[in-house]
Structure 1
């Protein structure tokens, strides 16, 4: 079947609120040498997308564009089918069902996208639909700190109900770690179901006063601080946060500790997206990882999806259905 000449895509040309986004018609991209074109069936809206739309933090604009965004379409997570291949591509074929991550160029909030055939792409595990396979963004950030630990060590995950926290619990268990999950009342059952060894309800108890110490404390929602969590850390324990912290304290403390030769305070900066996606696909195939989804929006409802994610109350992943397939 011949692909159309234009596609629906969500575009923006200025930083700002979700209202900056507009569903528009753009030319269907053609794959270059070594590239594949994907027919996108599903994507997500996540904290990375909302922060990039806002141009936050400001120093990130050195990469995304200081005054105006360099990219026109957001969307890191994708799942779809290979629609066309460029010259020299041998590892993927038209019709392959794939999922993955596009952390450098984004572009998944559209009906088609092109990316390198050697990018962070993997086959969708047997039995999973497209909407169940857009699971990478939160897990990628979680992996960069969870992978610092070895089997038998212990971690506390504060906010184990968002995309990063839910992924962190599962990745930690897959590595043989002892996991303490901290959540609100409505997520206690979910944390238990994910396999956490201990679940604390921050609404009814002070999780910092439990009298235990951990090799890693991960603030997966950016709502606590190293100062508050310091009693929870072992002598060489690591505090990792997915936000800059009050008055950029996590950045400042990370730099101070680094000058002393320590990395006790970190903000996740994950690398090797390609290797990560391959490893995640294996965990999904083995039943050690699954996406937990809050809700799904259609592509033309994406402004509402951004508004919802910005509320900071989502449970797991917010999916966006781009194309529907009878077998997906």
Structure 2
């Protein structure tokens, strides 16, 4: 392992750790050992981190099936999205060197240091703050794979994004626009101006308008909210349109995959294409997003920023549905 510039204070760091599953009350600030890195990993001095629904699911242990895979979260450091500076590299690492500024996905990013695999990181753009860079990977890659791969969005199509004001939704709107689609975003009253500000062609306030009332049909519907029935979603589609189920929201407490299973089971029997996907964090997709951001076609949307000690409050805001775009953590 090649290192430089590491603090000398007994190899410890401040981090948000989790003991047990439940509400944000299971999270606490603690001093823990800095992580060791494998040959294909780098150690990142974390400057900022991002908050996403996946972090909430890991904290809550929902769906319950996740607990079988994760085990007991004793003193587990929370967080995935990160941006920071490489301070050590494993012997097999070739893409990064000490001193490089990076963004991507790490293991336990709500901390002063985090280990991250080389293939889950990309170079940070100088034009972005660390907070902006830290909120790209998880939500941005999910949106990219939903719009480009699952939805197969192309120029001239009409796209409906349900949940357009959230972390994935704000990226999905901008990506669909970048691919040449006419985009309608669905959100609540308080977030209409936010959704309009990111270039959405039309905004529907779901408290005042029904996207499934028959007044409009869409070639692609991205359902990020997870609360609408399949019959309503299909009514919003053209006869051969595509429905993309994004994430596990509304998918059941035990397995969390009820809606994706429903989509795959129903799709062979209808003319419309009903699909779902599980996002895979790949550095190639992070670099695609990096290029779109550099070109001015996509901009990370941050609604609030919290210091490390206030991660529990940030997750409470996310759970309450108050988040606008992404929530960033400054470290």
Q: TM-score, normalised by structure 1?
A: 0.89
Where do 4+ consecutive residues of structure 1 move more than 4 Å? 246-249, 258-263
Deviation per CA, 1:138-171: give whole Å up to 9, x if none. Answer: 2222222211222222210112111111111011
CA RMSD of aligned residues (A): 2.2
The question of 1:317 aligning with 2:322 is answered no
Q: TM-score, normalised by structure 2?
A: 0.88
Alpha-carbon distance, 1:38 to partner? 0.3
Contact 1:6 1:26 in 2 (8 A): yes
Deviates more, 1:34-43 or 1:239-248: 239-248
Deviation per CA, 1:185-206: give whole Å up to 9, x if none. Answer: 2322222221112222222222
Tell me what 2:302 maps to.
293
The question of 1:122 aligning with 2:116 is answered no
The structure 2 residue matched to 1:245, chosen from 244, 250, 254, is 250
Tell me what 1:214 maps to.
218
The structure 1 residue matched to 2:192, chosen from 183, 188, 206, is 188
Change (3 A) 1:116 1:137: closer
Tell me what 2:114 maps to.
113
Aligned residue pair count: 316
Tell me what 1:45 maps to.
51
How far apart in 2 are the matches of 1:171 and 1:59? 32
Tell me what 2:133 maps to.
133
Contact 1:146 1:168 in 2 (8 A): yes
Deviation per CA, 1:50-71: give whole Å up to 9, x if none. Answer: 1111111122334323xx2388
Structure 2, gaps ≥5 residues long: none
Query: What SS does structure 1 have at the residue aligned with 2:221?
Result: strand
- 1:275-290 alignment, distance < 5 Å: 275-290=284-299
Query: What SS does structure 2 have at the residue aligned with 1:256?
Result: helix
Contact 2:226 2:251 in 1 (8 A): no
Tell me what 1:326 maps to.
none
Query: What SS does structure 2 have at the residue aligned with 1:190?
Result: helix
The structure 2 residue matched to 1:12, chosen from 18, 22, 28, is 18
Change (3 A) 1:30 1:94: same
